[in-house]
Amino acid sequence: MKVIAAIDQGTTSTRCIFVDRKGEIISVGQKEHKQIFPKPGWVEHDPIEIAQNTLEVIARARIQKQIQLNQIVACGITNQRETTVIWNKKTGKPYYNAIVWQDTRVAERADALEKEIGSEYFRKKTGLPITTYFSSLKIQWLLENVPGLRQDAEEGLALFGNMDTFTVWHLTGGKLHITDVTNASRTQLMNLETLDWDEEILQKLNIPKSILPEIRSSSEVYGDISAEPLAGVPLAGILGDQQAALVGQTCFEAGEAKNTYGTGCFMLLNTGTKIVHSKHGLLTTVAYKLGESEVQYALEGSVAVTGSLVQWVRDNLGIIKESRDIEALAASVEDNGGAYFVPAFSGLYAPYWESSARGIIAGLTRFVSKGHIARAVLEATAYQTLDVLQAMEKDAGLPLSTLKVDGGMVVNELLMQFQADMLEVPVIRPKMIETTALGAAYAAGLATGYWATLEDLKANWGEDKRWNPQMDAQKRLEHQKGWKKAIERARNWMD
């Protein structure tokens, strides 16, 4: 049996899956990596740990089902986007830890830059606002704060990449320094129209072009992997994680949308070959470019903290032992008891884009129990998704008829029902919820002829469960009003 490998380098763990022609998982290996918090608002990963974990999970997945090298047709990669690392091209060693997408150390720089050049300068070219989220200001911080790095960058010794680029470089023994259009579109350095690095922005931020990877399509044969667990296997697909989920959900038509519930929450709406500039706090981004076909664009709403809020309740408060326990605890009460949890740990993302916001629990009374807190934690994800959807409908001019969902949190049925109630549309979970890794596999399989057409991929998609709205209108409005009040109290917290 011939299979496709997909490496999913995520925010909390790295996985390797093998899938068959039906898009079903044959085998999986997974390993978490450390989350490093040197200061409040700083979030880092050890890139070398991740590189080692990547090799380990590939080996685990192969051993699990005794998959031979000659069975593996190709490999695709998907990754946490925006997370920024710069390494030495001779030694392969990073100059500093990877700065994670959630990190807010450049908040003051972002504010100063917005005052200096205005909020639309980057948005017009890249589709992205000035904020701590993207790679650009992280690169600038590294160049200005790591001793010797600026000089090495100017001399051509330093290489930048998000985690896709770093992973590819290590898997190919340093032969390929590349990224794809989806990941490049999240650096805030790529022009959406030309699909190339923007010279004016690089000059403005004083970032040498020599450190940047070559931009390629999301689905093509880039070269062969040399690392032992996949030695000789063609590397043939690269997609940022949320774009990979869009492909995995087979949202290939303009107007189709998906929402991924992971560490954060990310809703993408395919806008086809048209660049739609948001007027309501969303991001304009590249959806994918499959080989020589035209590039497809998307509107995206990014929420920083959803699944990671459950982890925070588990690890910092200790009111649950395992993440999955949150559903039973939340179901022990009828509603949130009037409590609302705004998880703005690193500010608010879409549609607010406010780095001065901070997390709060509002509406507390003596009546509120840990069950109500658990419920407020889950409901926060649904409310944040509602905020994004309302902005998306205004920008696209289209009401959403259904929402395809994926990611780890969609096994939580209480959350999915509440989500349908808040959105007033059916929420649909596919049979295959690991759509991020699946999208990377699809990209690699299309490039190598394992799947012939997009229709082959659509035929693999199947519905597992559907949640229809049940809540009456008055109760829904009361919930939404409470959330809006809580959001207002979380805003402008930091001076």
Tell me whether residue 256 is annotated as binding: no
200-228: burial string, b at 16+ Cβ within 10 Å, e else: ebbebbebbeebbbebbbbbbebebbbbe
Report the half-sphere exposure of 103 (CA within 13 A, side-chain side).
30
Tell me how far apart the alpha carbons of residues 53 and 47 are, in angstroms, rounded to a whole number.
10
| Alpha-carbon span 379 to 412, nearest angstrom | 11
- Sequence-distant (6+) residues with CB within 8 A of 201 are 122, 125, 126, 136, 188, 189
Is 121 marked within a binding site?
no
Coil, helix or strand at residue 81 = coil
Report the distance separating Cα 243 and Cα 220, nearest Å: 16
Beta bridge partners of 3: 72
Is 11 part of any known ligand binding site?
yes
Kind of pairing between the strands at 3-9 and 72-79: parallel
412 is in an annotated binding site: yes
Which residues make Cβ contacts (< 8 Å) with residue 398, sequence separation at least 6?
255
Q: Check the annotation: does 96 bind a ligand.
A: no
Q: How far apart are the first and last CA of the chain?
A: 60
41 is in an annotated binding site: no
CA distance 19 to 28: 9
62 is in an annotated binding site: no
Q: Can you say how many angstroms the Cα of residue 264 is from the centroid of all Cα atoms in its chain?
A: 7
Residue in the block written with tokens 């997609």: 239
Instruction: Confirm or deny that 462 is annotated as ligand binding.
Output: no
81 labelled binding-site residue: yes
Say whether 354 counts as a known binding-site residue.
no
Q: Is 307 annotated as a binding residue?
A: yes
241 is in an annotated binding site: yes
Backbone angles phi, psi at 193, to 5 degrees: -85, -45
Q: Please state the residue numbers annotated as binding site.
A: 11-13, 15, 81-82, 133, 241-242, 263, 307, 311, 408, 412
Q: Please state the residue numbers annotated as binding site for glycerol.
A: 81-82, 133, 241-242
Q: Please state the residue numbers annotated as binding site for ADP.
A: 11, 15, 263, 307, 408, 412
Q: Please state the residue numbers annotated as binding site for sn-glycerol 3-phosphate.
A: 11, 81-82, 133, 241
Q: Please state the residue numbers annotated as binding site for ATP.
A: 11-13, 263, 307, 311, 408
